[in-house]
Structure 1
Amino acid sequence: MTAANLDCAVSPTALPAPAPAPGNDERLALRKKLGFGLGDFAFNLYWQATTLYLLYYYTDVLGLPPVTAGWIFGGALLWDALCDPVAGYIANRTRTRWGRYRPYLLFGSVPLALSFMAMFFPTNLQGTTLLALVLVTHMIFRTTYTVLSMPYNALMATLTCDSRERGSLAAYRMVCASAAGLVVALLTLKLVHVFGMADQKRGFFVVMALYAVASIPVFLLTFFSTQERVQPDSHGITIREALATVAHNLPFLLACGITVAIVGAGTFFSKTLPYVMKYGLHREDLIGPALGTVAVQVFIAIPFWAWVMRRTSKRFVAMAGGCLGICGYAALGAIGMPSISVFFILIGLIGFSIAAALLSMWAMVPDTVEYGEWRTGIRGEGTIFGVFSFAHKVALAMAVGGVGHMLGAVDFVANRSQAQSTIDGIWAMLWQGPMIFLGISVGLAFLYPLSPGKHRKILEALHQRRAARTPSN
């Protein structure tokens, strides 16, 4: 049966009366929540290292022009984004004795570690050869990353159908992710100096190798501590059916839009911050602590926002966090280049708002899987998360490329004293872009329709539909 001839048992505007939905009492054990969440710790050793330091490594260590470095970074991310729906579709059709998604964690962790280390392998190449090496190693890393990350993301929707438990899972993974961000932000440059001394290339390689090796046992722990409880589609879905799960899923499309805006805001902020610290505030030594302050605030704030989410909704948390972030960026713009203490207070406030954005973003998407099944008859969580990740990474690629391009536009040249116009341009990038993006995210979050109550009704409708299709004995 294809998506074309599947009608909903209940129309979207005529949901059944509220009833205890199947799976709403599916409490997950602490070890399973923590085991799943730790997987994001491992992923964020990679993600945060590349997000926070790879562009800086390209420009200030390898000596690449900022525009070139930005578009190499962005081009590799675009390739990654194109791979995401394909990886999600393939994972959705995978059938093994370990499930659909967990085996990728088992067999993909070592290739991912090796590809990450290759990006930072010390080299004295120059010119076109260096550019080719940087681009190829980055694309290989992005490919192996998506082969693991896509199944991991989709795994979240198979652990439970309970919307509140999914919110709890999102909180666990965000706490673990922010812990990794804290480690990477605070320790990377210090360890680069310890292991490399005057040789930054060697220092970066050793540190990134440590992160890569540390990730492997964590991925294995996630594999052994999780179990796919939600049954897959009864047949391998076609490409047409996979596309239908996306095209007819308004909450998912809104969640993607919210994510694009959040990623744009976060990328402009995190990519510009090291340059502001080094060239605007002349405190290169505080790059790590500044990034660490943001990570600490995310780590602290996740439990608070999870508590708020359980008592309100994912939509409310997304809007509240966005508004708080807008206030933080507006304060930066109003004050201008502040003192170090004021600057750290404001970026701490921004970090607190980032926690809400990340938590709501990852908590919203699993619920859209049931909405898509309700509308089309196809779960397709692999496809849902593949397209979601595609949107996420396209936004990141364009934002990183934009940052690199704008650095070139304001006449930035690495490792030199910058003109005041250049510093002013970098400062404007830090707060203006993020504030605009967050305004968009708040507007889209306002339109997001899946409340906890509506999700429960959808689960009940799906339960009734499956019961009607089950032959009686």
Structure 2
Amino acid sequence: MTAAPLSRRQLAGYALGSVGTGIHSTVPGLLLLYFMTDALGVPAGVAGLVVALPKAWDALFNPTVGAASDREALRTGRRTRILLAGALALPVAFAAMFLSPLTGTGAAIWVAVTFVLASSAFALFQVPYVALPAEMSERPGERTRIMVWRIVCLTLGILVAGGLAPAVVALAGDGRRGYAVMGLVIAALLAATLLIPVLGARKIPARPGPEPLGLRAALRTARGNRAFFALLGAFVLQAAAVAIMLAAAPYTATYWLGGYGLTSVLFVCLVAPSAIAVPLWGRAAARWGRLRCLTAATALFALAAAALWPAAGDGAAHVAATLALCALLGTAYAALQVLPLSLLPDTVHADAARTGRLQSGAFTGLWTAGETAGLAAGPGLFSLALAAAGFVASTTDRPVAQTATARAGVLLGFSLVPALLMLASLPALHAYGRRRAAATATAVDPLVGELS
């Protein structure tokens, strides 16, 4: 760890890994549910379980990886080995998800198994990767800088994945062949981007604590960090809101805006503004405070999402209004990405002042487990809503006309439900601010220092 400012090369070397994490986080959430219901003939309820259950496994697996990462850090002084294992395994498992030779029940089993493998590989990379900023610098302002770089690259990965993946499917002929080609192309991008931070991580010394803690002991130690769990609760609700909107996007394009081909346009309008907004939110946070800006962005997202309910529909005017609201959502989404992650290392250092241990791996394991739970809940809830609304699964060569009720279920998942989840996260953000202030009043850690 260093107090000196990080160079642009160091920042870029770390942040480029987020291009890969953004790609992996986006494509399954955007296309996997639709791939199963509209290309493999898997019923919506079953497809939702396939998407949700592997993520539920992640919620258990990620804290285990966090504890293992801390043990590796103590033993070797680095977090490189687990990081490398994830970087090598994820591209292979990702490609396999979209190579199902089966349809119906067999396809559901194939996707479930390969998705579990891909999610586990992603955890091996993501957990130690998210732990690194707390060990790259001791200054909150510098860690916010790291997060700005990371979120810019994350946004780039999300934008590339969301814009490229549906386009590759269409160019390769749609259907199962199109998805297979897309899986291979995205896997190659993952391999190219995930290995870069592995090389940089060899130069980052780790400080996990005086002795390794097992998973249960690490969780007991973390339990007293009430500010962390309030922040995590808000982040989980926000992740679920974004995930359900992401899962609903291709359905909204197909059944409300005129065709599946608009999925890429819809997604680009949602994500592209965030690439510009990330540095602006960083400057705003430096002036008015990270928590204030995060609260404002959450409210903005909720209002824009609710406005999609009357805006969506057939015709150029409805499409233009929907795309404009998506651009506004993208502006708010940028803050929802960068600001919670800039606050996370502060809670880790505050806990170090309380316990004498800097357990970055344990806390990031819990964080990524919570994020995974939120990302799983989104598509899972959306698939259940589709099933309840009477949505009928189909294959590429046998499309099915959906009822008005099913179409309403699609739009509900794209607008009002995400808005309500965002509003539900506001009390947790308020609790985080209150608990952080209380902790600071009793013990001031010079590493936490800047409260904003």
Q: Same fold (TM over 0.5)?
A: yes
Q: Output one character per residue of 1:23-42: Cα deviation in whole Å (capped at 9) or x when no partner.
A: 6x531111111111111101
Determine if the alignment matches structure 1 residue 232 to structure 2 residue 211: no
Shift of 1:330: 2.9
- Aligned positions, number: 436
2:353 counterpart letter in structure 1 = W
Shift of 1:239: 4.0
Partner SS, residue 16 of structure 2? helix
From 311, 320, 323, the counterpart of 1:344: 323
> Any residues of structure 2 matched to 1:212-361 within 5 Å, and which?
212-226=187-201, 227-229=203-205, 231-335=207-311, 337=313, 339-361=318-340
The 8 Å contact of residues 77 and 206 in structure 2, kept in 1 or not, is answered as: no
Determine if the alignment matches structure 1 residue 145 to structure 2 residue 129: no
Give the aligned partner of residue 51 of structure 1. Answer: 29
Q: Output one character per residue of 1:102-135: Cα deviation in whole Å (capped at 9) or x when no partner.
A: 3333343221111111111141x24443332221
**Relative to 1, partners in 2 of residues 1:230 and 1:142: Cα closer, same or farther, differing over 3 Å?**
closer
Distance 2:97 2:312 in 1: 37
1:429 counterpart letter in structure 2 = G
From 139, 150, 159, the counterpart of 1:173: 150
Give the aligned partner of residue 444 of structure 2. Answer: 458
From 386, 392, 395, the counterpart of 1:413: 392
Give the aligned partner of residue 388 of structure 1. Answer: 367
Distance 1:86 1:97 in 2: 17
> Any residues of structure 2 matched to 1:65-80 within 5 Å, and which?
65-80=43-58
Q: Output one character per residue of 1:129-169: Cα deviation in whole Å (capped at 9) or x when no partner.
A: 33322211111111111111111111121111211111111
Determine if the alignment matches structure 1 residue 182 to structure 2 residue 162: no
Determine if the alignment matches structure 1 residue 160 to structure 2 residue 137: yes
> Any residues of structure 2 matched to 1:403-442 within 5 Å, and which?
403-414=382-393, 415-442=399-426
**Relative to 1, partners in 2 of residues 1:375 and 1:177: Cα closer, same or farther, differing over 3 Å?**
same
**Relative to 1, partners in 2 of residues 1:110 and 1:413: Cα closer, same or farther, differing over 3 Å?**
same
TM norm structure 2: 0.90
Q: Output one character per residue of 1:53-91: Cα deviation in whole Å (capped at 9) or x when no partner.
A: 111111111121111101111001101121000000111
Shift of 1:96: 7.7
Distance 1:426 1:462 in 2: 44
Distance 2:274 2:22 in 1: 13
Q: Output one character per residue of 1:452-471: Cα deviation in whole Å (capped at 9) or x when no partner.
A: x959x7332899xxxxxxxx
Taking only the aligned residue pairs, the percentage that are identical comes to 25
Q: Output one character per residue of 1:297-318: Cα deviation in whole Å (capped at 9) or x when no partner.
A: 1211111111111222221121
The 8 Å contact of residues 77 and 205 in structure 2, kept in 1 or not, is answered as: no
Q: Output one character per residue of 1:427-457: Cα deviation in whole Å (capped at 9) or x when no partner.
A: 2222111111111222222232347x959x7
Give the aligned partner of residue 13 of structure 2. Answer: 35
The 8 Å contact of residues 40 and 104 in structure 2, kept in 1 or not, is answered as: no
Give the aligned partner of residue 7 of structure 1. Answer: none
From 194, 201, 214, the counterpart of 2:176: 201
Partner SS, residue 368 of structure 1? helix
From 359, 367, 373, the counterpart of 2:352: 373
Shift of 1:97: 8.4
Shift of 1:393: 1.2
The 8 Å contact of residues 248 and 376 in structure 1, kept in 2 or not, is answered as: no
Distance 1:218 1:274 in 2: 26
Give the aligned partner of residue 396 of structure 2. Answer: none
Q: Gaps (5+ residues) in structure 2?
A: 394-398
Shift of 1:220: 2.5
Shift of 1:410: 0.6
**Relative to 1, partners in 2 of residues 1:128 and 1:265: Cα closer, same or farther, differing over 3 Å?**
closer
- CA-atom RMSD, angstroms? 2.3
The 8 Å contact of residues 45 and 212 in structure 1, kept in 2 or not, is answered as: no
Shift of 1:244: 3.1
Distance 1:352 1:416 in 2: 35
Give the aligned partner of residue 191 of structure 1. Answer: 168
Partner SS, residue 379 of structure 1? coil
Give the aligned partner of residue 16 of structure 1. Answer: none
The 8 Å contact of residues 119 and 138 in structure 1, kept in 2 or not, is answered as: yes
1:188 counterpart letter in structure 2 = A
1:148 counterpart letter in structure 2 = F
